[in-house]
Chain A
Amino acid sequence: MITLNKLTTGYAKNRISKEISTQIQLEIKKGSLVGILGSNGIGKSTLIKTLAGFLKPLSGNVEIQGKMVHEMNPQQRAKYLSVVLTEKNFNGDLIGKELIQLGRQPHTNWMGKQTQGDQEIVLQILKQLNIEQLAEQMLNTMSDGEVQKILLARAIAQKTPIVFLDEPSSHLDLFNKAQLFQEIKHIVKKEKKTVVFSSHDLNTAIQICDQIILLLDNQWEYGSPEELIEKGVFQSIFPKESVFFDPKQKQFNICV
């Protein structure tokens, strides 16, 4: 379970702090798929990075199973949560399998020695995600969709109860996106993991999420897609003359 206590995210620099999301108070249940939605620049990434412990909250706190995320050291955090980020400044010479194996690092000894068990976990995940053909391929020869699958595989290999994904589906075509979310849905159901992802793809998120955190200017909404539709909050995200929300179809349409 993840609890956000009056969480205010943002950046603090030279005593001037820029608040991005304010006073978020909510609970994310174990084994649920949660989407953080909102328009560009509203603070989805900042929220994900704060939840995952990379950024310090301006005020309030995040608790994971009763422990404050920002008081854990990286080793402790690595056992609770794994991440897939938008930053792609990893070494392009890495081969797929080696990258996934790095997910086992928190469970290895001081040298990072991979045991038989670690190797089996990696092989099993390669099979589960159907990416065995990428095992020996270098990252800089892979497509965006393939890289994203490898990164997801790495996060799964870390075997944490919680996975955070920052914009996992951007740059992916419809087919790859569908595959990726099917896989995510699968690990939520089968392995009872809690998955929180950010996205600006509202239509997809409404279809697949259990709960949605919707970030709006200076406010936020939290609930299941149905609850939020009933509340009518989706209508207010975009100017009506450009994009409108159709509650019956449960999707956004472009005005043409």
Chain B
Amino acid sequence: MNKLSHYKGLFTFLIGMLFLCLVLNLSLGSINIPLWEAIKIILGYPTTKPTFEYILLDYRIPKAITAMLTGGSLGVCGLMMQTYFKNPLAGPYVLGISSGASLGVALLLMGSSWLGGWFIFSEVGLRWAIMIAATLGSILVFCLILIAAIRLKNSTSLLILGLMFGSLTAAIVNILMFFGSKEALQKYVFWSFGSLGNINASELKILGLILLVGLSISVYSIKNLNSLLLGEYYAESLGVSLKKNRYLLILSSSLLAGATTAFVGPIGFIGLAAPHLIRLLIPSTRDHKIILPAVFLGGALLLLFCDSIAQIPGSAYVLPINGITSLIGAPLIIFLILMQKN
């Protein structure tokens, strides 16, 4: 379809904004690092302040990379779901994969508190246990969705099913919370705030690898996603094998949404808002060869921006990222919808 070069302007804009936001993000925090110093450290120049270097390299840069990777992945995941379900309200969480992650974490925290044993985990041990529980929860829902998907005829049924799985797991989490101890509840609530900053370099590598696999599948699906713009019958007549495509999309979105939720907790609205934002910026094409990479950049930009705000410039507080993304994302979508009407 349209050549990538037609949209050079868009990509230059997005990458430029991303870079600006990155520098801003790195310089913000409880200790202000001047913009110039931040740029120098990123580019590898020697710095006079080793503390700045330590803060940047060991904390802020991994956090910024996490924000960009997960933001971009959530955006791409949301785009795939919106195209597949032909529903602008679909997002990365519609298949219920992340609710599965929440269920895993809730079971771990509340369940082990019944056994009186959550304290056996050290801080680090608990963090890993949470990630593993979230992953197992995601995989559980993924398997259920897959089994159901074999029987289902159309995408609408899958959408309803995903939402139902989400509601079911949320209900179980609610009941668990009712019986959970105060400490466990607190830990669960903190997890549900989401956190980009808890990831160290080795965890980041694992997360990056999983997201890379998920993103590769979504790139492989670009052609099919374009055919699906015409609906499932037409897509099939253009050579898309609907079942295989459905499995690929479920797998990809599970990897993207599941891994993100497991490593940084639930992050709302990015996956919903990024595709809308990009579609508004380029109304002249629906070609996923253009839209998908643009949405990745858009999602990365959005989450990085939200993270910068969550730092509250000049204060030691870090606001819960999940709250900030919703606080920014929801008005953004309202704004975009109103713009469209005109």
CA distance A85 to B231 in the complex (A): 11
Q: How far is the CB of B138 from chain A (nearest CB, A)?
A: 28
Check A102–B230 contact: CB distance below 8 A: yes
Instruction: Kindly list chain A residues whose C-beta atoms are within 8 Å of the C-beta of B284.
Output: 95, 136
Check A112–B231 contact: CB distance below 8 A: no
Q: Which of A73, A75, A85, A93 contacts B233 (CB 8 A)?
A: A85
Q: How far is the CB of B217 from chain A (nearest CB, A)?
A: 13
Q: Which residue of A lies closest to B289 (CB)?
A: A111
The interface stretch among B117-125, B161-169, B237-245 is B237-245
Check B231–A74 contact: CB distance below 8 A: no
Check B286–A83 contact: CB distance below 8 A: no
Check B223–A105 contact: CB distance below 8 A: yes
Check B1–A98 contact: CB distance below 8 A: yes
Check A105–B287 contact: CB distance below 8 A: no
Q: How far is the CB of B157 from chain A (nearest CB, A)?
A: 15
Q: How many residues of B contact A (CB 8 A)?
A: 28
CA distance A82 to B233 in the complex (A): 11
Q: Which residue of A lies closest to B240 (CB)?
A: A74
Check A105–B226 contact: CB distance below 8 A: yes
Instruction: Kindly list chain A residues whose C-beta atoms are within 8 Å of the C-beta of B83.
Output: 91
Query: 1/0 per residue A132-176: CB within 8 Å of B?
Result: 000010000000000000000000001000000000000000000
Q: Which residue of B lies closest to A119 (CB)?
A: B1
Indicate whether A77 sits within 8 Å of B239 (C-beta atoms), given known contacts A102-B230, A112-B1. Answer: yes
B127 at the interface (CB under 8 A from A): no
CA distance A58 to B235 in the complex (A): 24
Check A93–B283 contact: CB distance below 8 A: yes
Instruction: Kindly list chain A residues whose C-beta atoms are within 8 Å of the C-beta of B289.
Output: 111-113
Q: Which of B241, B279, B287 contacts A98 (CB 8 A)?
A: B287
A94 at the interface (CB under 8 A from B): yes
Instruction: Kindly list chain B residues whose C-beta atoms are within 8 Å of the C-beta of A106.
Output: 238-239
Check B286–A91 contact: CB distance below 8 A: yes
A216 at the interface (CB under 8 A from B): no
Check B238–A105 contact: CB distance below 8 A: yes
Check A90–B223 contact: CB distance below 8 A: no
Q: How far is the CB of B92 from chain A (nearest CB, A)?
A: 20
Q: How far is the CB of B340 from chain A (nearest CB, A)?
A: 10
Indicate whether A78 sits within 8 Å of B239 (C-beta atoms), given known contacts A90-B234, A102-B227. Answer: yes
A99 at the interface (CB under 8 A from B): yes
Check B236–A74 contact: CB distance below 8 A: yes
Q: Which of B220, B229, B236, B279 contacts A102 (CB 8 A)?
A: B229
Q: How far is the CB of A148 from chain B (nearest CB, A)?
A: 14
A114 at the interface (CB under 8 A from B): yes
Q: How far is the CB of B290 from chain A (nearest CB, A)?
A: 11
CA distance A85 to B234 in the complex (A): 8
Instruction: Kindly list chain B residues whose C-beta atoms are within 8 Å of the C-beta of A87.
Output: 231, 233-234
Query: 1/0 per residue B308-337: CB within 8 Å of A?
Result: 000000000000000000000000000000
A54 at the interface (CB under 8 A from B): yes
A81 at the interface (CB under 8 A from B): yes
Query: 1/0 per residue A99-120: CB within 8 Å of B?
Result: 1011101101011111000000
Q: List 7 A-B contacts (CB under 8 A).
A: A85-B233, A89-B231, A91-B83, A102-B234, A108-B223, A112-B226, A113-B289
Seen from chain B, the residues whose Cβ lies within 8 Å of a Cβ on chain A are 1-2, 83, 86, 220, 222-223, 226-227, 229-231, 233-234, 236-242, 279, 283-287, 289
